[in-house]
């Protein structure tokens, strides 16, 4: 006969569901990126990827960027255009327009526009009329500058007078690296997705069984902020006789790199292996964002066998995206973790511990840059980080350094981390391959 025991009434006082119920407020500054918001203005000072060019055919494509509905297209001359959705005549959507040899033509009354918004043709009015001349002189379609680069289309949505230099990072040109564009849509605010790059603790839990056993170890964590807009989170772990230093990287506002997803597991020696992805987290609106990236494959990135859509989903978030609820519960990826916070997380109810330091640091810095911009001070640009190609740090280094009887293990991990990071930091004056070679040689000499 089973016996039911009444729960001990005395313990009930510790249950705090009632007192903690209800939602907190999101961080207003960080989460709003639409036009005329402080963070929207801040984000509008940078180049962002907005489209994978292979997804464009002879039809225009409706997209969203920073809360604006836009139409992207490629005309017959091969020029890319990114324009306001609504035609300046009587507001029909240009997504139903036609790509022309030059520019795009609206479906409703046939007006045609060049990629810079110039009106090329008003076919329904007598040609040469004063109305046509006046309209062409006074009216334009809203358009934004774009730049195609390695299969991604980048756009600048800010004031033309503040157009920044297009930043060139060292990882854009690593000999032998194959870079394949991909994008993953997250149905939540961009900050929820961006946070993870400077959150090495999540790797040890969310991703512990997804890549390799080594990922499941916490290791020693360190956070760095360099040159005001660059944030790094490092995890230094022991795997057998090896020490594995992994560097995750964020350059504000939204450029991210890390180490490899598959090529590094702590068991094989690796010297300054580079990032599995070169990636930007771009807000579509306040409740959606897209991670646009290249997956990086080759000797210094991930193995070529993962250069598939499936491989890139795993690189991006540890699991495939399209899965049943049961599969997601059994092995959640980043999508499950960050979308489950809600479309916009209630930041007010978060509770930070030291392992969240990287997240706190970069969020505060974005808030500062937003406030500064409101006062008229322009935020720093990635291109300011170097006199040319921008050195980046996202990497894996795995060294054979067995445990020592005469040295505390924590101290040994921390010391190895410092040695590796000092070497990486001290070669910023060198360019591309020279820098990498110098770093690799110096790292090889670490004992
Ligand atoms: S609404 Fe576009 S041409 Fe009239
Ligand atoms: Fe993750």
Tell me, what CATH number does 86's domain have?
2.102.10.10
Closest CA to 78 of 53, 51, 52: 53
89 in any annotated domain: yes
Q: Is residue 29 part of a domain?
A: no
Same domain, 114 and 142: yes
Å from CA of 55 to ligand 1 middle: 26
Ligand nearest to the CA of 192: 2
Where among 123, 141, 162 does a domain terminate? 162
**Residue in 97, 104, 105, 108 to alter for ligand 1 test, most ligand atoms within 8 A of Cβ:** 108
In a domain, 8, yes or no: no
The residue from 162, 195, 210 where one domain ends is: 162
Residue 40 in any domain: the answer is: no
Query: Which atom number of ligand 1 is nearest to the Cα of residue 87?
Result: 2
178 with 137, same domain: the answer is no
CB of 86 sitting under 6 A from ligand 1:
no
| CA 110 / ligand 1 centre spacing (Å) | 6
Would the CB of 108 count as within 6 Å of ligand 1? yes
CB-ligand 1 contact for 89 (6 Å cutoff): yes
Residues 133 and 255 in one domain: no
Specify the pLDDT at position 442: 98
**Strand ranges across the sheet with 98-99:** 98-99, 104-105, 112-113, 119-121
Based on the fold, state whether residues 231 and 150 are members of the same structural domain: no
Q: What is the CATH number of the domain that holds 313?
A: 3.90.380.10
Cα angle for residues 318, 225, 257 (degrees, 5° grid): 30
Check whether residue 240 and residue 359 sit in a common domain: yes
List the domain range (segments joined by +) for residue 103: 47-162
Residues 294 and 151 in one domain: no
CA distance to 248, 280, 316, 320, 425, per residue, from 392 (Å): 10, 14, 19, 28, 10
| 3 domain-assigned | no
Q: What is the sign, positive or negative, of the torsion defined by CA atoms of 277, 283, 286, 289?
A: negative
Q: What was the pLDDT predicted at 1? A: 45
d(CA 86, CA 108): 11
Q: Is 92 in the pocket of ligand 1 (CB under 6 A)?
A: yes
Token pair of 175 as six digits: 């000999």
d(CA 279, CA 271): 22
In 59-83, which positions are buried (b, 16+ CB within 10 angstroms) versus exposed (e)?
A: ebeebbbbbbebbbbbbeeebbbbb
Alpha-carbon distance values, 202 to 77, 194, 209 (Å): 47, 13, 12
CA–CA separation, 356 and 200 (whole Å): 9
Q: Measuring CA to CA, which residue among 224, 133, 134, 172 is closest to residue 49?
A: 172
| Mutation test residue for ligand 1: of 71, 98, 106, 124, the one with most atoms within 8 Å of CB | 106
pLDDT tens for the chain, 447 residues long, are 455 666 666 678 889 999 999 999 999 999 999 999 999 999 999 999 999 999 999 999 999 999 999 999 999 999 999 999 999 999 999 999 999 999 999 999 999 999 999 999 999 999 999 999 999 999 999 999 999 999 999 999 999 999 999 999 999 999 999 999 999 999 999 999 999 999 999 998 998 878 778 878 889 999 999 999 999 999 999 999 999 999 999 999 999 999 999 999 999 999 999 999 999 999 999 999 999 999 999 999 999 999 999 999 999 999 999 999 999 999 999 999 999 999 999 999 999 999 999 999 999 999 999 999 999 999 999 999 999 999 999 999 999 999 999 999 999 999 999 999 999 999 999 988 999 999 999 999 998
pLDDT computed for residue 11 by the predictor:
78
Task: Say if 36 falls within a structural domain.
Answer: no
| 366 lies in the same domain as 221 | yes
Q: Structural domain tally of the chain?
A: 2
122 C-alpha vs ligand 1 centroid, how far in Å? 9
Q: Are 75 and 190 part of one and the same domain?
A: no
- Ligand 1 atom nearest to CA at 111: 3
Does any domain span residue 35?
Answer: no
Q: Which ligand minimizes its atom distance to the CA of 256?
A: 2
Considering just the CA atoms, what is the radius of gyration of the chain in Å?
A: 25
Q: CB of 104 closer than 6 A to ligand 1?
A: no
What is d(CA 319, CA 332) in angstroms, rounded to the nearest whole number?
7
pTM: 0.96
DSSP letter string, 17-28 = HHHH-S-----H
Cβ–ligand 1 distance for 109 under 6 Å, the answer yes
Give the pLDDT of residue 5: 63
- Atom 1 of ligand 1, nearest CA residue: 90
Strand order in the sheet with 61-65: 61-65, 68-74, 80-84, 143-144
114 and 200 together in one domain: no
Whether 139 and 282 map to the same domain: the answer is no
Separation of CA 290 and ligand 2 centre (Å): 15
48 C-beta neighbours (distance < 10 Å), count: 23
For residue 273, the tally of other CB atoms under 10 A from its CB is: 22
Question: Looking at 162, 194, 217, which one is the last position of a domain?
Answer: 162
On the CB side of 109, CA atoms within 13 Å amount to 14
Which ligand lies nearest the alpha carbon of 206?
2
Q: How far is CA 175 from CA 16, 274, 315, in A?
A: 57, 12, 21
Same domain (yes/no): 290, 245? yes
Mark whether 320 and 401 lie in a shared domain.
yes
Task: Identify whether 41 is part of a domain.
Answer: no
């Amino acid at each position: 006969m089973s016996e039911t025991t009444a729960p001990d009434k005395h313990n009930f006082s510790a249950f705090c569901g009632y007192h903690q119920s209800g939602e907190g407020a999101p961080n207003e500054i960080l989460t709003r990126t639409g036009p005329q918001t402080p963070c929207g203005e801040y984000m509008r000072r940078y180049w962002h990827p907005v489209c994978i060019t292979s997804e464009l055919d002879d039809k225009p494509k409706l997209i969203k960027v920073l809360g604006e509905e836009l139409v992207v297209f490629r005309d017959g001359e091969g020029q890319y255009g990114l324009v306001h959705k609504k035609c300046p005549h009587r507001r029909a959507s240009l997504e139903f327009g036609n790509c022309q040899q030059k520019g795009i033509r609206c479906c409703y009354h046939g007006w045609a526009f060049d990629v810079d918004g110039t009106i090329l043709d008003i076919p329904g009015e007598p040609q040469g009329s004063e109305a046509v001349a006046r309209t062409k002189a006074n009216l334009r379609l809203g358009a934004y500058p774009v730049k195609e680069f390695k299969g991604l289309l980048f756009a600048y949505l800010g004031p033309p007078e503040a157009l920044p230099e297009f930043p060139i990072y060292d990882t854009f040109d690593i000999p032998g690296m194959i870079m394949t564009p991909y994008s993953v849509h997250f149905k939540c605010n961009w900050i929820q997705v961006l946070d993870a790059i400077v959150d090495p603790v999540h790797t040890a839990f969310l991703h512990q069984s997804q890549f390799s056993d080594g990922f499941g170890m916490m290791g020693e964590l360190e956070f760095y902020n360099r040159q005001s807009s660059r944030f790094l989170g490092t995890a230094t772990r022991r795997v057998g006789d090896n020490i594995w230093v992994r560097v995750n990287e964020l350059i504000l506002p939204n450029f991210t790199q890390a180490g490899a997803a598959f090529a590094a597991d702590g068991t094989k020696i690796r010297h300054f292996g580079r990032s599995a992805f070169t990636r930007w987290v771009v807000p579509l609106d306040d409740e959606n964002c897209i991670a646009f990236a290249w997956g990086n494959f080759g000797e210094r990135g991930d193995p070529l066998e993962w250069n598939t859509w499936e491989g890139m989903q795993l690189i991006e978030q540890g699991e495939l995206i399209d899965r049943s609820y049961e599969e997601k519960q059994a092995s959640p990826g980043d999508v499950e973790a960050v979308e489950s916070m809600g479309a916009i997380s209630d930041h007010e109810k978060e509770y930070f511990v030291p392992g969240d330091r990287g997240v706190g640091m970069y969020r505060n810095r974005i808030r500062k840059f937003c406030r500064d911009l409101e006062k008229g001070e322009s935020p720093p640009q990635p291109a300011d980080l170097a006199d040319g190609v921008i050195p980046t740090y996202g990497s894996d280094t795995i060294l054979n350094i067995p445990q020592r009887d005469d040295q505390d293990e924590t101290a040994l991990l921390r010391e190895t981390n410092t040695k590796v990071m000092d070497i990486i930091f001290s070669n910023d004056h060198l360019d591309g391959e020279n820098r990498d070679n110098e770093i690799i040689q110096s790292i090889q000499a670490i004992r």
